[in-house]
Amino acid sequence: MTRVLIIDDDTSIRQVIAYALADEGYQVDEAADGEAALDLVARQHPDIILLDMKMPGMDGWQFARLYREQYGHLAPIIVLTAAQDAAQRGWDVNAESYVAKPFEIDLLMARVSAISKGL
């Protein structure tokens, strides 16, 4: 079963995504910021990471850098961002994909599904 880690400081967004993923059979972990996410990763490595870029504390850029320094390039990252240039945010952290906020849950699920099939 594919394990997805959702990293986003917005509880409502995390809950909606977690519900949709669980409904499709994914195992889901959640973190409100990069620091909490690194703690989770130390205990259980995800197969896919959904990463918000702007969060208080450790943001998405810092998380991606530290994650790759500590663990290498293990899990594909899908960037979730409200930035005008979502593609650039994905490029900034060498993400496999990106989804601009606000997003359609079906689009996000399609991106997760496409990446999980390639694992």
pLDDT (tens digit per residue) in 9-18: 999 999 999 9
Going by pLDDT thresholds of 50, 70 and 90, the confidence category of residue 90 is confident
Cβ-based burial of 25 (10 A; exposed 0-12, middle 13-18, buried ≥19) = exposed
Bridge partners of residue 3, in order along the sequence: 27
So what's the pLDDT on residue 12?
Answer: 96
pTM of the model: 0.94
Is 29:4 a contact under the CB 8 Å cutoff?
Answer: yes
Q: Cα(57)–Cα(105) distance, rounded to whole angstroms?
A: 26
Q: Cα(90)–Cα(78) distance, rounded to whole angstroms?
A: 7
Mean pLDDT score, 39-44 = 94
Q: Cα(71)–Cα(112) distance, rounded to whole angstroms?
A: 21
Q: Cα(21)–Cα(89) distance, rounded to whole angstroms?
A: 23
Asked if residue 73 has pLDDT above 80, the reply is no
Biggest CA pair distance of the chain:
34
